[in-house]
Structure 1
Amino acid sequence: MQVEFHGAAGEVTGSMHLVEVAGRRVLLDCGMLQGRRELEARNFAPFPFDPAALDALVLSHAHIDHIGRVPRLVAQGFRGPVFLQRATADLLPVMLEDAASLAESDAERGNRHRDPEQPPQPPLLTRHDVARVLPLLRPLDYDARTAIAPGVEIALRDAGHILGSSIVELWGDGRKLVFSGDLGPKGTPILCDPCAIEEADLVLMESTYGDRDHRDRIATVHELGEVFEHAWRERGNVLIPAFAVGRSQELLYWFARYWDEWNLGRWRVFLDSPMAGKVVRIYDRHHELFDEQARAVWRQRPSPFRLPNLHFTESTQESMAINSIDSGAIVIAGSGMANGGRILHHLRHRLGRRDTHVVFVGYQAEGTIGRRLVERVPWVRIHGHDYRVNAQVHTVGGLSAHTDQQGLMEWYGHFRGTPPLVLVHGEDRAREALAGEIGQRTGAHVMLARPGMRCTV
């Protein structure tokens, strides 16, 4: 069994790992690179392998940095089955269609300002490309061991990161590989805890927060309530960049849980994302994947997805109208790293106002507007124009959908015999810190994945 690394190998985004086993070629994830402009430009590069020669694709979950290049893979010749958890299969069309819409808009905007002597730049993916992916999907339940090619089997285990997120166990050639996907923290609302795995010959593990531990979740939630109170006293608005899958739903969960304590009935709450509204409906169809506490909250009133003052804004006109609200609005909008989507329009209108509170509730990749804002820069550039940052910026790190250093070490600690470990999906500082801690405590052989690196077991 041999693994070759082609994405999320030195950075957080772009997950893509090629496994050659039993004479077959299986790709784990096919994600989009996100962040700096030069990083995102690599999404247009040809794949470093022949897509038509792949026997199968296995997807760990529906975030764009794990699925965003699947339409390009199909457009360039892949025709094999795509294996994924059932909830992920429901989420994938929503995520990819939104990404295609953004890509088409970005290409159209860029081509308006291009050098007339240069050919127009095509979009990274189109809605037609997305439609060609859907017939290839092969949804699986958690814990079902399934043959995906002659001599190759997989099982998907709950990763506790977002709805349908999976740890991938892969068997072939008498060897077993375990790919963590993205691991959620224990005690994450709505979701179950990540499944513990005990046996592997090789482990690929994410390392997003490999160099730090999160704040206590309840303390973080208390901090969020304080931000709302402060913003209300200032007669301001609150902007929350949040991913449409996972973070938006968790925020609504906490809104329902602390409805009275935070006096949320006085606010107007907007989920300003057509995609997030569709995702909410998918979550509502998969209560079987919720933890026991979430099921109890869903039986209470108000239900997280049916708060009496919650507005789902579908159209562009509805989104634009939010900017006319002078105070008393909480706006949850994509994208989570403020590198696209409707949140940019709200930031353009509000960053210059001291009574605006911008709350970041997740990881901000290097090169994104979100990263610049949490680093407290005085100016940011949005859609070609510079905007002064007078708004109050809050980083609420305890709501991350990724587990922290302690959680990663605990998850790896369940394996018997300290199998060799390759760290993916993390910046070098985080990976180096985690490698040092695990190596010192367990004596395990820990490697940092690099593009094109091969590992054989």
Structure 2
Amino acid sequence: MRYPSIIHHGAVTGVTGSCHQLQMDDEHALLIDCGLFQGAETSPEGRAGAAKLAIDFSLDGIKALVATHVHIDHVGRIPYLLAAGFKGPILCSEPSAKLLPIVLEDAFKLGFSRDQKQVERYLKLIEQRIVALPYKQWFTLIDTKQLSARIRLQRAGHILGSAYVEVDLQYPETGEKKRIVFSGDLGAPHAPILPAPKAPYKADVLVIESTYGDRLHEDRRSRRARLEKVLEHALSNQGTVLIPAFSIGRTQELLYELEDIIHRRALRASAKTQPSASMPKASKAPVLDWANLPIILDSPLASRFTSVYRELDQFWDAEARARLVKGRNPLAFRNLLTVDSHQAHLAMVNRLVQTTQPAIVIAGNGMCSSGRIVNYLKAMLGDERHDVLFVGYQAEGTPGRQIQRFGSRSGYVEFDGQRYDIRPHVHTIGGYSAHADQKGLVSFVTRMTHWPSEIRIVHGEPQAKALLAEFLCKCYQAQGRCVSVAVPELL
């Protein structure tokens, strides 16, 4: 076999279950991510509900795992990896090192045991395995006469701590050198809070995600204006806006944008002059009281992540840090209410169902397949006063995708075997995806000084992968460059 070679264990027939094995030589391999499959992707055949948790590939020679970021579809199978006998270190960025134990504690409780002693033993093991790497610094993995291997993490701009991975390989006996880059999940260039990703200097082989490889996001200003318009329309019905959101990344971006909308509304209100006494007073509809609008974060996990985001503000971008300097706190503002206990959660659901006080609820999980958002949906889908707002990708086979697809057609969704008619307005603002769009993905390649000669496209639906591949090939042709673009199948 010719080395290096890449074996894909996930995220090649869809957008979840990221797991890629870089075989560096006969004896040394590196694993990039080990994530859960979600929705209809819980099996390589696409059978919703099929078990896809146990590690079904050999761990021989795998010396380390690199976690590009802590989303569950990239790290959710780490407990199963350890159970299968993996003994190596878990390499990740410094922010991810703080977030990963929180994610894996939750995964362990859901998949293995809630016994506190077992949880504590497991977390101690995780913390012993984690090696936190600073961004931009090379870390030597292997240094022998046959192989020299080192890795470097660079900011990916997707969520706090996210990274793309550069792997430098040298084979002293042959003099061959290769640089392989794994994109992980790349962030949108103008996303809130985090700096935009910068393209690497070079890559010989690139493994790149393609979640939004077939579309473009709207720009941030129009996206925020549309968010404000959707909220204003929805809340004028004196109902609740339900936003299913992932606990890390999307939730913090939403809080950041909501704080800014409320801040701007307050400035606008204070700048208004009183109408002249000679001017007739026009009749107006009731004005939404933005200053006292409750923003309800109903997710203990999201609250924990938000606290870590606040602690690690040195990793924020310049705009976000400037707001802190001005005395604003985008992730802990006055309107924000957090709901922790299950009892308080149920009380909040009942309160919002029974009252006509406008409110915005952000609750997990992002694809409506479990979590507290399900109780809100069960209680509110039958009432047209309420609205459902999707701001992130909904995988095929998830309730979120069903609501998104059929909600505008008086459809229904099933939870726990029971049918719920969808009467609220259903909105989608795709620009709030934490993923780069087609332009961002292509720029990641074309802004390299030395373009890769081989590109493998993963982590996307078939159309997204096909269109991204087509567009990249056209870019290479326009520059008179050669490239091999592959869309791998699950191996």
Task: Normalising by structure 2, report the TM-score.
Answer: 0.85
Paired amino acid for 1:32: L
CA distance in 1, matches of 2:154, 2:57: 29
**What pairs with 1:214-233 in structure 2 (closer than 5 Å)?**
214-233=217-236
- Does residue 25 (structure 1) correspond to residue 25 (structure 2)? The answer is no
CA distance in 2, matches of 1:65, 1:451: 16
Cα drift, residue 126 of structure 1: 7.2
- Does residue 310 (structure 1) correspond to residue 344 (structure 2)? The answer is no
Identity of aligned residues (%): 38
Q: Residues 206 and 452 of structure 2 are in contact (CA less than 8 Å); yes or no, is this contact kept in structure 1? A: no
- Residues 61-84 of structure 1, C-alpha deviation per residue, up to 9 Å, x if partnerless? 010000000111001100101100
**What pairs with 1:180-191 in structure 2 (closer than 5 Å)?**
180-191=183-194
Cα drift, residue 445 of structure 1: 1.6
- Does residue 370 (structure 1) correspond to residue 406 (structure 2)? The answer is no
Paired position in structure 2 for 1:120: none
CA distance in 2, matches of 1:127, 1:389: 42
Paired position in structure 2 for 1:450: 489
- After superposition, the Cα gap between the structure-2 partners of 1:42 and 1:17, relative to the gap in structure 1 and judged at 3 Å, is farther
CA distance in 2, matches of 1:361, 1:371: 12
- Does residue 152 (structure 1) correspond to residue 149 (structure 2)? The answer is yes
Instruction: From 284, 289, 292, give the equivalent of 1:266.
Output: 292
Paired position in structure 2 for 1:44: 53
Paired position in structure 2 for 1:340: 370
**What pairs with 1:154-173 in structure 2 (closer than 5 Å)?**
154-173=151-170
- Does residue 135 (structure 1) correspond to residue 128 (structure 2)? The answer is yes
CA distance in 2, matches of 1:237, 1:261: 21
- Does residue 99 (structure 1) correspond to residue 107 (structure 2)? The answer is yes
Q: Secondary structure at the match of 2:180?
A: strand
Rg larger in structure: 2
Q: Residues 212 and 437 of structure 2 are in contact (CA less than 8 Å); yes or no, is this contact kept in structure 1? A: yes
Q: Residues 102 and 341 of structure 1 are in contact (CA less than 8 Å); yes or no, is this contact kept in structure 2? A: no
Dislocated runs of 4+, deviation >4 Å: 125-131
Of the structure 1 ranges 346-355 and 438-447, higher mean CA displacement relative to structure 2 is found in 438-447
Paired amino acid for 1:153: R
- Residues 100-139 of structure 1, C-alpha deviation per residue, up to 9 Å, x if partnerless? 334469xx9xxxxxxxxxxxxxxxx977655532310000
Aligned residues: 433
Paired amino acid for 1:143: K
Paired amino acid for 1:285: E
- Does residue 352 (structure 1) correspond to residue 382 (structure 2)? The answer is yes
Q: Residues 190 and 293 of structure 1 are in contact (CA less than 8 Å); yes or no, is this contact kept in structure 2? A: yes
- Residues 307-366 of structure 1, C-alpha deviation per residue, up to 9 Å, x if partnerless? 112111110011111112223221101111111111111111111110111110011111
Q: Secondary structure at the match of 1:295?
A: helix
CA distance in 2, matches of 1:346, 1:404: 31
Paired amino acid for 2:104: L
Q: Residues 187 and 434 of structure 2 are in contact (CA less than 8 Å); yes or no, is this contact kept in structure 1? A: yes
Cα drift, residue 418 of structure 1: 4.0
Instruction: From 413, 435, 454, give the equivalent of 1:380.
Output: 413
Q: Residues 211 and 429 of structure 1 are in contact (CA less than 8 Å); yes or no, is this contact kept in structure 2? A: yes
- After superposition, the Cα gap between the structure-2 partners of 1:395 and 1:226, relative to the gap in structure 1 and judged at 3 Å, is same
Q: Residues 160 and 192 of structure 1 are in contact (CA less than 8 Å); yes or no, is this contact kept in structure 2? A: yes
CA distance in 1, matches of 2:49, 2:85: 22
Paired amino acid for 1:185: A
Paired position in structure 2 for 1:117: none
Q: Secondary structure at the match of 1:304?
A: coil
Of the structure 1 ranges 300-309 and 55-64, higher mean CA displacement relative to structure 2 is found in 300-309
Q: Residues 9 and 451 of structure 1 are in contact (CA less than 8 Å); yes or no, is this contact kept in structure 2? A: yes
Paired amino acid for 2:466: E
**What pairs with 1:191-206 in structure 2 (closer than 5 Å)?**
191-206=194-209
Q: Secondary structure at the match of 2:184?
A: coil
Q: Residues 101 and 127 of structure 1 are in contact (CA less than 8 Å); yes or no, is this contact kept in structure 2? A: no
CA distance in 2, matches of 1:35, 1:239: 21
Cα drift, residue 179 of structure 1: 0.5
Paired amino acid for 1:149: I
Q: Secondary structure at the match of 1:438?
A: helix
- After superposition, the Cα gap between the structure-2 partners of 1:32 and 1:16, relative to the gap in structure 1 and judged at 3 Å, is same
Of the structure 1 ranges 41-50 and 372-381, higher mean CA displacement relative to structure 2 is found in 41-50
* Structure 1 residue ranges without an equivalent (≥5): 109-124, 453-457
Instruction: From 300, 310, 332, give the equivalent of 1:284.
Output: 310
Cα drift, residue 285 of structure 1: 1.6
- Does residue 403 (structure 1) correspond to residue 436 (structure 2)? The answer is yes
Paired position in structure 1 for 2:66: 58
CA distance in 2, matches of 1:252, 1:289: 17
- After superposition, the Cα gap between the structure-2 partners of 1:370 and 1:131, relative to the gap in structure 1 and judged at 3 Å, is farther
Cα drift, residue 215 of structure 1: 1.4
Instruction: From 397, 405, 420, give the equivalent of 2:454.
Output: 420
Cα drift, residue 232 of structure 1: 2.3
CA distance in 1, matches of 2:430, 2:261: 19
Paired position in structure 1 for 2:269: none
- Does residue 16 (structure 1) correspond to residue 22 (structure 2)? The answer is no
CA distance in 2, matches of 1:406, 1:66: 23
Paired amino acid for 1:451: L
Q: Secondary structure at the match of 1:208?
A: coil
Q: Secondary structure at the match of 1:332?
A: strand
Q: Residues 391 and 428 of structure 2 are in contact (CA less than 8 Å); yes or no, is this contact kept in structure 1? A: yes
Q: Residues 54 and 80 of structure 2 are in contact (CA less than 8 Å); yes or no, is this contact kept in structure 1? A: no
Paired amino acid for 1:308: R
Of the structure 1 ranges 440-449 and 73-82, higher mean CA displacement relative to structure 2 is found in 440-449
Paired position in structure 2 for 1:435: 469
Paired position in structure 2 for 1:115: none
- Residues 194-217 of structure 1, C-alpha deviation per residue, up to 9 Å, x if partnerless? 021121110000000001101122
Q: Secondary structure at the match of 2:168?
A: strand
CA distance in 2, matches of 1:359, 1:301: 30
- Residues 45-92 of structure 1, C-alpha deviation per residue, up to 9 Å, x if partnerless? 442223x64211111001000000011100110010110001011111
Instruction: From 307, 325, 330, give the equivalent of 1:299.
Output: 325
Q: Secondary structure at the match of 2:31?
A: strand
Q: Residues 192 and 256 of structure 2 are in contact (CA less than 8 Å); yes or no, is this contact kept in structure 1? A: yes
Paired amino acid for 1:247: R
Cα RMSD after superposing both structures: 1.9
Instruction: From 77, 80, 83, give the equivalent of 2:85.
Output: 77
